[in-house]
Amino acid sequence: MNNLAAWCFRTAVIYALFGMIMGEIMAASGDHGLMPVHAHINVLGWVSLALFGVFYKLWPEAAEGSLAGLQFGLFNAGTVVQAIGVTLILTGDESFAPVAAGGSALLILGMAMFAFLVYRHTRS
């Protein structure tokens, strides 16, 4: 397996464990106040990164070069920064909205890079 695909899966399972433990805590406590954070850690961190890993495994040439590494890094940074920003907003401090927005912008940038790599490498 090329290294980036492996790193996608290594990172995705950490988000999955974190997101599921968070879900268990939400279920046990009955406090679903951070549900959007739980949902996005799971769907961005676990599901999306695992899908990136599948793509980089199927099209290893797309994983070569610095763009794919940057894509992986930006998407990870976006997931973590968005989660921190949304957590702070939902726990009562609206002033952290720019942090959530910044994280979301990193996510969109990371996904735009991924879209570019997909279109570039699936032509043949």
User: Under rule CB under 6 A, which residues in 85-124 are in contact with ligand HEM?
Assistant: 104, 107-108
Between residues 4 and 79, which has the closer beta carbon with respect to ligand HEM?
Answer: 79
Q: Which of 6, 13, 26, 113 binds ligand HEM (CB under 6 A)?
A: 26
- Residue 119: exposed, middle, or buried by beta-carbon count in 10 A (0-12, 13-18, 19+)? exposed
Ramachandran area for residue 93 (φ above 0: left; ψ -120 to 50: alpha; else beta): beta
Q: Report the distance separating Cα 24 and Cα 116, nearest Å.
A: 37
Q: How far is the CB of 32 from ligand HEM (least distance, A)?
A: 4
By CB under 6 A, is residue 47 in contact with ligand HEM?
yes
Question: What's the residue count for the chain?
Answer: 124
| Residues in contact with ligand HEM by the rule CB under 6 A | 19-20, 23-24, 26-27, 32, 35-36, 38-40, 42-44, 46-48, 104, 107-108
